[in-house]
Amino acid sequence: MKTDLEIARDVELRPIVDVAADMGIPPQYVEMRGHGIAKVKMQALEAMGPPRAKYVLVTAVNPTPFGEGKTTVSVGLAQGFQLLDKQAVLTLRQPSLGPTFGIKGGAAGGGYSQVVPMEEMNLHLTGDFHAVTAANNLLAALIDNHIYQGNQLSLNVKRVTWKRVMDVNDRTLRHIVVGLGTTLDGVPREDGFDITAASELMAVLGLATSLHDLRERVGRIVVGYDRHREPVTAEQIKAAGAMTVLLKDALNPNLMQTLTGTPALIHTGPFANIAHGNSSIVADQVGVRGGDYLITEAGFGSDVGAEKFFNLKCTASGMAPDAAVIVATVRALKLNSAKFNVRAGKPLPDEMVAESPDDVMAGAANLRRHIANVRQHGVTPVVAVNAFPTDHPSEHAAIGAIADEEGVAWAVAEPYTRGGEGMIELAERVRAATEDDSQFRPLYAPDMSLHTKIERIATEVYGADGVEYDIKARRQLDSYESHGYGDLPICMAKTQYSFSHDPSKLGAPSGWILPIREVQLVAGAGFILPLTGSINRMPGLGLHPAAHAIDIDDDGNVIGLS
C-alpha cells in the first residue's frame, strides 16, 4: 500500500471555492491561503442561514500510545456520508508541530481517509499556531517589562503564572531562569516554557464565539498575583489589545477538504490531557450551517476529550450533540486487559497481535465504561471497530458482542484501507442514531461548588471512590471561589491512558481515590484546571523522533512525513 503522503499527492484537489460553495459559503467570505486552503471569514455565518446539521462527536476508548485512529475514522465517516448522498462537514483540530516531529506524527488522518493537502495541515497551515505563540510571548514580554519598569501593579515575581510557549517538544525548557546578566537585562526570576497547544490562548481561541468575545477573554487572562494575592490580568498589564490584533485572523477557521472533496474545517489545537482538547466553536458554528451532518472529534477517550466536549465546549457554544461514535480497536482493548506491556516507539508484542478474542473480552470493561459515559450525558453512542492489519475477524466480532450486550449499534470501520467505501455501514448506524431525540445534559450545573464539580467528574466519569486534595489545591479552590470564579466549568488535566490519574491502572479501575495536587485558574478561556498525576505541559522527544526521518528532496518535496 502507498504511504499516506503518496496517497495524498495522487489526489487532484477540488477548487476550495467550490468546496465552500457546497456549504453555502459565498465566495466573498472565502480568503485564499494557498492551493486548496482558505480562511472562512466569520461574516459568513450571517449569509449561511440557520443551523441544520446533525451534530456527531467522535471519541474513543482509552488508547495505546500509538492512537486508535479517531481522526481517520472521522474523515472516513464524512466520506461515507458522501456516498450516501449526504453532505457532511468535518471539524478537526490542527496538529501541533511537537507531536508531528515527535512520536505521534501528524494528524491529518491516514491512508484513504485524509485531509489534504496533508503536508500543509501537518506543518504551518495558515500560521494560526504562530499567531498564538507570538501573542502568548508578547504578553510574557510585557509582564517582564512591567516588572522592570517599576512594577506599579506590585506583581509578585514569585507568583507570575504566565509562561512562554513554543511549538516544539523540548523538555529542557520546562524550568528556566530569565533576566540573568546585567541590571539592563531585566529582573531575574524562575520561568518556563509550555508547548503552544497548551497555551491558554489556544483554549481562548477555541472557545471564543466572536471577535468581541475573543477580546474580552484575552483581557480576563490572569497572569499572576500581587503582594496581596489578588489576581493581575492581561488587561491590567495593557497587553490584551495588542494580543487580540495578533489573533484576529487566527479566529477565522481554515477550510480544507478530504481526499474525496468533502469540506473539512481545521481550527485550533488544544491538547485534551492538559486543555479542553476540541476544535473551535467558531468552526462548528460554520459547519453546522453547511451540511446535513457535522462530524467533530474530541481528543483521546470519553473520560478526557469527550467529557470536556460535553461539559465545557457545549456549555460555551449552546450546541447539543445528536450522537457520539466511540472508536474501539482490538489492540486498545487487549492493552486494557492489563496482560501486555506496550511502549511508545516499540512494536506491539508478538503475543498481542496473535488471534485471541478472549484477550479482547478481557478488556471489555473499558469499552463498557466509555459507553456509560456517553449515555449519562443523554447522547446515543455507536461503536466503530476501527480495523488494523494485525486484527482478526473473530476479534472484531468480540468487540461487536460487547456492544450487543450493551444494546449499542456497531460496525467495523475500514477508513484507512477503503476510505468512504469502508465506512458506509458505520455511516448508516450513525444516521439512525441521530434520529433519536437528543436528551443531552451536562454532568453538573454552573452554580455547583468547584469541589462538587470535580468530585462528580471523578466519581461518575472516572469511576473513582472520591477525591483527595492537597492543602495547596484546597486553598486554591477556596481562593478562586472567593474571587468570583466558582461558576466556571472544570477542565481536568489527566493522563489519557487510564480512567484514573495513574496510566498503569488499565481497564475500568475501581477502589481508588483521585488525588488533586494543584488547581490552576484559566480565567480567559473560562475554566478551572485541576492537575492530577504527573502531567506536564511541555513534552519531550523520544530516542527516535519522527524528525529524524523527515527531509526534502531535490525537487522541494517533503519526504518522511506521516
Q: Which amino acid is at 340?
A: F
Q: What is the pTM of this model?
A: 0.94
176 close to 193: Cβ distance less than 8 angstroms: yes
**Where is the domain boundary, 205, 231, 249?**
249
* pLDDT at residue 226, rounded to an integer: 96
User: What values do phi and psi take at 266, rounded to 5?
Assistant: -110, 115
Query: H helices of 419-558, where?
Result: 424-434, 450-456, 471-482
Q: How far is CA 340 from CA 11, 317, 352, 353, in A?
A: 39, 41, 7, 11
Contact in structure between 268 and 202 (CB atoms under 8 Å): yes
User: Does residue 520 fall inside a structural domain?
Assistant: yes
pLDDT, one tens digit per residue, over 135-185 is 999 999 999 999 999 999 999 999 999 999 999 999 999 999 999 999 999
- Domain final residue pick, 231, 249, 267: 249
Residue 235 in any domain: the answer is yes
Nine-digit cell at 132? Answer: 498564538
Q: Which residues of the chain have pLDDT under 50?
A: none
Residue 433 placed within a domain: no
527 has which bridge partners?
522
3-state secondary structure of 226: strand
**Inside any domain, residue 135:** yes
Q: What confidence score (pLDDT) does residue 221 get?
A: 98
> Would residue 308 count as lying in a domain?
no
CATH number at residue 166: 3.30.1510.10
* Domain CATH number, residue 481: 3.10.410.10
Last residue of a domain, one of 200, 228, 249: 249
pLDDT at 291: 96
Sheet containing strand 155-160, strands side by side: 155-160, 222-226, 231-233
User: Is residue 180 one of the residues assigned to a domain?
Assistant: yes
Task: Determine what percent of the chain falls in helix, strand and coil, rounding each to the nearest 5.
Answer: 40, 20, 40
DSSP 53-113: SEEEEEEESSPPTT---HHHHHHHHHHHHHHTT--EEEEEPPPPHHHHTSSS---SEETTE
Residue 510 lies in a domain: yes
Rounded to a whole number, what is the distance in angstroms from the first to the last CA of the chain? 14
Beta strands in 10-147 (DSSP E): 30-32, 38-40, 54-60, 88-92, 109-110, 113-116
The C-alpha atoms of residue 197 and residue 99 are separated, in whole angstroms, by: 10
Within 266-376, residue ranges assigned H as helices are 281-287, 307-308, 314-317, 330-335, 350-353, 357-362, 364-376
Count of domains observed in the chain: 2
Q: Is the peptide bond preceding residue 442 cis, with omega within 30 degrees of 0?
A: no
Q: What is the pLDDT of residue 266?
A: 97
- Show the domain range for 525: 452-531
Query: Does residue 341 belong to any structural domain of this protein?
Result: no
